[in-house]
Structure 1
Amino acid sequence: MATNAEIAGRFEEFADLLEADDVEYKPRAYRRAAENIRSYPSPIADRIEAGDREAVENIDGVGDAIASKIVEYVETGEIEELEELRAELPIDIADITRIEGVGPKTAGKLYRELGVQSLDDLEEAAESGEIQDVKGFGPKTEQNILENLEFARTVGQRQLLGEARPLADDVLAFLESIDAVERCEVAGSIRRWRETIGDVDVLAATDAGEAVVEQFVAWDSVDDEIESGPEKASIRVGEIRVDLRVVVPEEFGSALQYFTGSKDHNVALRNYAIDRDMKLNEYGAFDVSEIDDPDAGQRVGDRVAGETEAGMYEALGLQWIPPELRTDRGEIAAAESGDLPDLVTRDDIRGDLHSHTEWSDGNTTIEAMVEAAADRGYDYFGIADHAEGPGIVGGMGLSDTEILEQVEEIREVAAAADIEVFAGIEANVDADGEIGLSEEVIDALDVIVASTHSALDQDAETATERLVHAVENPAVDVLGHPSGRMLNERSGLEFDASALGKAAAEHDTALEVNSNPHRLDLWGSAVQAALEEGAAIAINTDSHQPSTLEYMRWGVHTARRGWAEPADVINAWELAELREFLH
């Protein structure tokens, strides 16, 4: 059955191919529809199967024409018009546009001029020097393509956390419905909340392993059975592979610790155990102090733990280490000394300072966004639509006059709201680190989020200087999605996170963890580096509609990967403390 993410992906491809074909207007409509399809709160395919076409047509940005295409795809697995467009433009558009600076229009031109259809074709054309001979291109573009080919090839092999984790939740719900399953949990990178994952790993504790495997591969959401056996099985749901492993209940904790990883964490923990005459593996923790040959077998020694994961760490005298921290970045030493952080949770979040409305590229009104935030129990909420500037295309950015007009409307909504509403803007950090807002606008606003949207191919030294200059600006409250990356699409800026964190701490500017699952920017190691320099962070959703306020889930876990505690997160603070921080 087609997932929402899969359906959205077809319309994103549609938009890219139309843009590559120089079609105007339609691409933006298809992208808006794709975003709303992806974030729709229930499976669209289920609605169609139930004959509820009206629900599909009522999705924001989805009218009768797009709804017909959605129904066609769910029922047949194809969209005839998309297949015709693919035949007309046989381009691996998703792969090619992962190259920084190569968008759909560029991909279309390279196809028409040089016949480039794939990354291999692109590499051949760049290495032969043909690209720089195409009008509008040059040696710099050609070199950029060569430098980014490896990235483009690698990222296409992984799924976004925001697309894979909802499926993992569905898998867990299904396994929990099986009477023979005593416990189940995700494992691997998805349990560590990595921003992208290779596949979904799931572990189940049961004394009826073969029967559970049989029910798992017969699950009605399965599109393809890859393989199965008495202790494990692999299936495919949509475009995502799910691997199940069944273990006996008394070994569930040790297996969960082992299969959660990371590899670096497990190696370090295993070595820590060896130094204490212990052995760790997926079957348990074993005291091997009286054993001549600890490697004689997997279960050699006196088994002292394994039923629970916490017991595996306790057997070594360690605090239980949250999965997000298992990266071998000091977590074992902290667990030994009892100094693990009290990590931020979703319940700690009191508001969101970065959201969009129909004033720029959002899909709804200021009032609707504020109401949705209030419904989530927030104390405060910030509207931060786009200001005009570099990287903001299609006239979506607001002029100074329009910003001031919007501030008036925000104040009117705020007067009637049950929560505090901040009038903000998302300013654009240009190539030199300037934000381009007038003093009148700055004075009228409560919060300024400054973000990069252009010149994302700068070298690390230049990018660091640019971002440091932005956080030093006394008008800037939050540096939004600092790298400008889009996961599986573009790599964004490389920069020195420690230097940026130091500057942010000195100038009371928060660094954003952008919760959009396509961004998750800052990421775990960068958050940790910034916090070590004394910086504060803001976990924002960058929402463009009420449903995507749920993106906070991804941002919180990303911040946890960076060892963030509630005191580090400005939107976990009381309103009075936050107001004092804002310039």
Structure 2
Amino acid sequence: MATNAEIAGRFEEFADLLEADDVEYKPRAYRRAAENVRAHPSPIADYVADGDRETIEEIDGVGDAIASKIVEYVETGAIEELEELRAELPIEIADITRVEGVGPKTAGKLYRELGVETLDDLEEAAQAGEIREVKGFGPKTEENIRENVAFAREIGQRYLLGEARPLADDVLAFLEGLDAVERCEVAGSIRRWRETIGDVDVLVGTDANESVIDAFVGWDSVDGEIESGAEKASVRVGEIRVDLRVVSPEEFGSALQYFTGSKDHNVSLRNYAIDRGMKLNEYGAFDVSEVGDEEAGQRVGERVAGESEAGMYEALGLSWIPPELREDRGEIVAAESGDLPTLLEHEDVRGDLHSHTEWSDGNTPIEEMVAAAEARGYDYYGVADHAEGPGIVGGMGLSDTEILEQVEAVREVDAASDIAVFAGIEANVDATGEIGLSSEVIEALDIVVASPHSALDQDAETATKRLVRAVENPAVDVLGHPSGRMLNERSGLEFDATELAIAAVEHDTALEVNSNPRRLDLWGSAVQAAVEVGAPIAVNTDAHRPSTLEYIRWGVHTARRGWAEPDDVINTWELEELRAFLD
């Protein structure tokens, strides 16, 4: 059954192809619908199955025409109008526009001028020096395209965590409902909460392999079987591959540890075991201290652990290591010495300090966003709409006058609310590190989130100086999505995370983990660099509508990948402590 992400992807393709064909206005409507479909909290395909057309049309940006296309796609797997557009413009638009600097209009022009339809065509044209000859292009553009094709190919093979994890949750719910399943868990990179994944790996402990595999392959959500055998099966759900492996319940723990990875973590852990006369593999932990060199095999030696994952670590004298930490960044040494962090949990978060409303590029009034935050049990909430500046498209940024007007509106909502509401702004960090706010505006605000939105191709040294200058600004409370990256779209700024973190400590500026699944910026290793020097962290959603407050899930796990504890994160603090930090 089609997922919300898959449906949204079709409308994003619609928008891109229309824009490539120089159609105005319609692309924006399709993009708005795609964004709201993707963020919708419930599976839209269920509404189609129930014949609930009314609820579909109630989704913001989805009127009668788009609702009809949703129904058509869910029921048939295709949209006739989109197929016709594909025939007119046979461009692999998603692949080509993954190349940084190549948008839909560029893709359309290169198709018309050079016949570029695929990523291979684009690379060949760049290598042959043909792009520079097209009007409006030049050697630098051609060079940028040539340099970014490899990155575009790499990201095209992976899915966002925010797209794949909900599917993984559905798979687990289905398998856990089978009588033959004794134990069940996701494995691989999705269990480590990496920002992108290649496929969904699921592990089941059972003594009834055939029954479980047959049920899995026959699951209603499966769109196609890839392969199946006695111990594993692979299917396609929407566009995502799901791999199932079944093991004996007695070996579930060792298999879970082994297949969770990462590869680097497992190699280091196996070497740690070898030094202690132990052997680790997917079948268990074995004491091989008395085993001769002539004996070989996966199950050689005395099996001392394997039924539980925690037992695999305990057999080596180690504390259980949370999956998010298993990247070979010091976690084994910390587990040996008892110094593993007490990681941030969802319930530790007391509020959100970066969100948007209908005043800029959100689509919800302040009151409704605050009510949604209150419904989540938050103690405080920050409105941070966009200020005018570079990288803000479509005139969505607020002028100084409009910011001051919004501050008054926020004060009224704050006075009427049971939670504290902060008047903030998302200022733009320009290419030099300036934020472009007047002293009058700064004085009126409770919080300034400063974020880069443009000039994202700077070299690492320049980018680091730019971001350091921003955090040194006494007006800046939070550096928002520091790299400006968009996963599977653009790489964003490269910078020295440690140097930035040291500056953040010195100037009491928090570094943001932006929870939007297309950003997850900062990422795990950068968060760890910040935590190691004591830099404050803020885990925010960058929500543009109430449903996207749910993005906090992705941000919390990303912060956990960086070893963040509750006290490291400013929006876990009590209200008065947070106020003191912001003052």
* Alignment TM-score, normalising by the size of structure 1: 0.99
Contact 1:294 1:301 in 2 (8 A): no
Do the aligned residues in 2 keep the contact of 1:383 with 1:422 (CA within 8 Å)? yes
User: For residue 431 of structure 2, what is the amino acid of its counterpart?
Assistant: A
| Local SS of the residue matching 2:395 | coil
SS for the counterpart of 1:304 is strand
How many angstroms apart in 2 are the aligned matches of 1:476 and 1:135? 42
Cα distance in 2 for partners of 1:278, 1:21 equals 63
Q: Deviations over 1:218-258 (max 9, x none)?
A: 11111111111111111111011111111111111000000
Moved more, 564-573 or 524-533: 524-533
Q: How does 1:316-395 map to 2 (within 5 A)?
A: 316-395=316-395
Does the CA contact (< 8 Å) of 1:288 and 1:294 recur in 2?
no
1:2 to 2:2 alignment:
yes
1:399 corresponding residue in structure 2 = 399
Cα deviation, residue 295, structure 1: 5.8
Please name the residue that 1:443 is paired with.
Answer: 443
Specify the code of the residue in structure 1 equivalent to 2:291: I
Pair 1:538–1:294, CA change in 2 (3 A): farther
> What does 1:36-55 align with in structure 2 at a 5 Å threshold?
36-55=36-55
What is the letter of the counterpart of residue 391 of structure 2?
A: G
Alpha-carbon distance, 1:552 to partner: 0.3
Partner Cα distance (2:319, 2:491) in 1: 36
1:90 maps to 90
**1: distance between equivalents of 2:25 and 2:468?**
37
Please say which of residues 38-47 and 520-529 is displaced more in the overlay: 38-47
The equivalent of 2:291 in structure 1 is 291
Determine the structure 1 residue equivalent to 2:13. Answer: 13
Shift of 1:134: 2.4
Kindly state the Cα deviation for residue 453 of structure 1 after the two structures are TM-superposed: 0.9
Aligned residue for 2:184?
184
In the alignment, residue 467 of structure 1 is paired with which amino acid? L
Provide the residue aligned with 1:221 in structure 2: 221
Q: How does 1:263-278 map to 2 (within 5 A)?
A: 263-278=263-278
Looking at structure 2, the residues matched to 444 and 17 of structure 1 have their Cα atoms a distance apart, in angstroms, of 44
Q: Which runs of 5+ in 2 are unaligned?
A: none
Q: Which amino acid aligns with 1:180?
A: A
Number of the residue aligned with 2:144: 144
Structure 2: how far apart are the matches of 1:403 and 1:80? 45
Q: Report the residue type matching 2:164 in the other structure.
A: A
Partner AA of 1:55 in structure 2: T
Deviation, 1:111, is 1.9
Cross-structure match for 1:497 = 497
Partner of 1:160: 160
Alignment-mate amino acid for residue 109 of structure 1 = K
Q: Deviations over 1:21-57 (max 9, x none)?
A: 2222222221111111112122111111111101100
Q: CA shift at 1:216, angstroms?
A: 1.1
Shift >6 Å, 4+ stretches: none
Q: Does 1:582 align with 2:571?
A: no
Q: How many Å apart are 1:469 and its aligned residue?
A: 0.9
Q: Which residue of 2 aligns with 1:261?
A: 261
Residue aligned with 2:236, SS:
strand
Matched, 1:130 2:130: yes
Cα distance in 2, alignment partners of residues 447 and 110 from structure 1:
44
| Aligned residue in 2 for 1:170 | 170
The alpha carbon displacement at 1:138 in A equals: 2.0
SS in 2 for 1:511: strand
SS at match of 1:485: coil
Shift of 1:198: 0.7
Q: Which amino acid aligns with 1:117?
A: E
The whole-number CA distance in structure 2 between the counterparts of 1:23 and 1:580 is 51
Q: Which amino acid aligns with 1:137?
A: F
CA contact (8 A) 1:100 1:457 kept: no
1:394 alignment partner, SS class: helix
CA contact (8 A) 1:380 1:421 kept: yes
Amino acid at match of 2:345: T
Classify the secondary structure of the residue corresponding to 2:378. coil
2:313 is matched with which residue? 313
Q: Is the 8 A contact 1:512 1:540 kept in 2?
A: yes
Of 85-94 and 411-420, the range deviating more from structure 2:
85-94
| Distance across 2 between alignment mates of 1:379 and 1:8 | 33
The amino acid across from 2:178 in the alignment is I
2:425 maps to which residue? 425
Amino acid at match of 1:498: T
Structure 1 residues 30-109: aligned runs within 5 Å: 30-109=30-109
| Cα shift at 1:7 | 0.3
Per mean C-alpha deviation after superposition, the further-off stretch among 112-121 and 41-50 is 112-121
1:170 counterpart SS class: helix
In the alignment, the residues of structure 2 paired with residue 529 and residue 46 of structure 1 have an alpha-carbon distance, to the nearest angstrom, of: 43
* Bigger mean CA offset, 115-124 vs 517-526: 115-124
What is the Cα deviation at residue 293 of structure 1? 2.7
Report if aligned partners of 1:231, 1:245 keep a CA contact under 8 Å in 2. Answer: yes
Letter in 2 for 1:455: A
- The gaps in structure 1 that reach 5 residues or longer are none
Q: Which amino acid aligns with 1:348?
A: D
Percent identity for Structure 1 against Structure 2: 84
Please report how far the alpha carbon of residue 84 of structure 1 lies from its aligned counterpart in structure 2 after TM superposition: 2.0
1:484 is aligned to: 484
* CA–CA separation in structure 1 for the residues paired with 2:108 and 2:398: 30
Shift of 1:359: 0.8
> C-alpha offsets along residues 151-189 of structure 1, whole Å, 9 cap, x if unaligned?
000100011110110011011111111111111000000
SS at match of 2:285: strand
Deviation at 1:3, TM superposition (A): 1.1
Amino acid at match of 1:380: Y
1:434 paired with 2:413, answer no
Could you tell which deviates more after superposition, 370-379 or 294-303?
294-303
